[in-house]
Amino acid sequence: MSQKVRIYPHQTLQSLALVNHELLTDKLTAGDEADLDYYCINSIVSLAFSVEAILNFVGDKKVRGWQERQNWHQKLDKIYKAINEPLDFETEPLMSILKLKDIRNGIAHSKPVEVVKSASNHTEAKLNMKAEWELLLDPNFALHAYEQVDTFYHYLLQKFRISVFETLTSSIGTIDSKT
Asked whether residue 69 is assigned to any structural domain, the reply reads: yes
Tell me if 101 is assigned to some domain.
Answer: yes
Overall domain count for the chain: 1
User: pLDDT tens digits for the chain (179 residues)?
Assistant: 688 999 999 999 999 999 999 999 999 999 999 999 999 999 999 999 999 999 999 999 999 999 999 999 999 999 999 999 999 999 999 999 999 999 999 999 999 999 999 999 999 999 999 998 888 899 999 999 999 999 999 999 999 999 999 999 889 887 777 66
**C-alpha span between 116 and 38 (Å, rounded):** 26
Whole-angstrom distance, CA of residue 115 vs CA of residue 113: 6
Is the backbone of residue 91 left (phi > 0), alpha (psi -120 to 50) or beta? beta
Q: Is the dihedral of CA 156, 158, 160, 165 positive or negative?
A: positive
Residue 179 in any domain: the answer is no
| Whether the Cβ atoms of residue 128 and residue 119 lie closer than 8 Å to each other | yes
Cβ within 8 Å of residue 37, ≥6 positions away: 134, 137
The residues pairing with 2 across neighbouring beta strands, listed in sequence order, are 174
Q: How many CB atoms lie within 10 A of CB 102?
A: 14
Nearest alpha carbon to residue 55 among 18, 8, 17, 89: 8
- The answer to whether residue 130 is domain-embedded is yes
The span from the CA of 142 to the CA of 40, in Å, is 6
**Which residue range is the domain that position 40 belongs to?**
2-110+118-174
State residue 121's pLDDT score.
95
CA-based radius of gyration for the chain = 20
Using an 8 Å Cβ cutoff, are 139 and 40 in contact? yes
Rounded to the nearest angstrom, the gap between the alpha carbon of residue 61 and the centroid of all alpha carbons in its chain is 19
Is residue 77 a part of any domain in this protein?
A: yes
Whether residue 43 lies inside any domain: the answer is: yes
Helix (H, G, I), strand (E, B) or coil at 165: helix
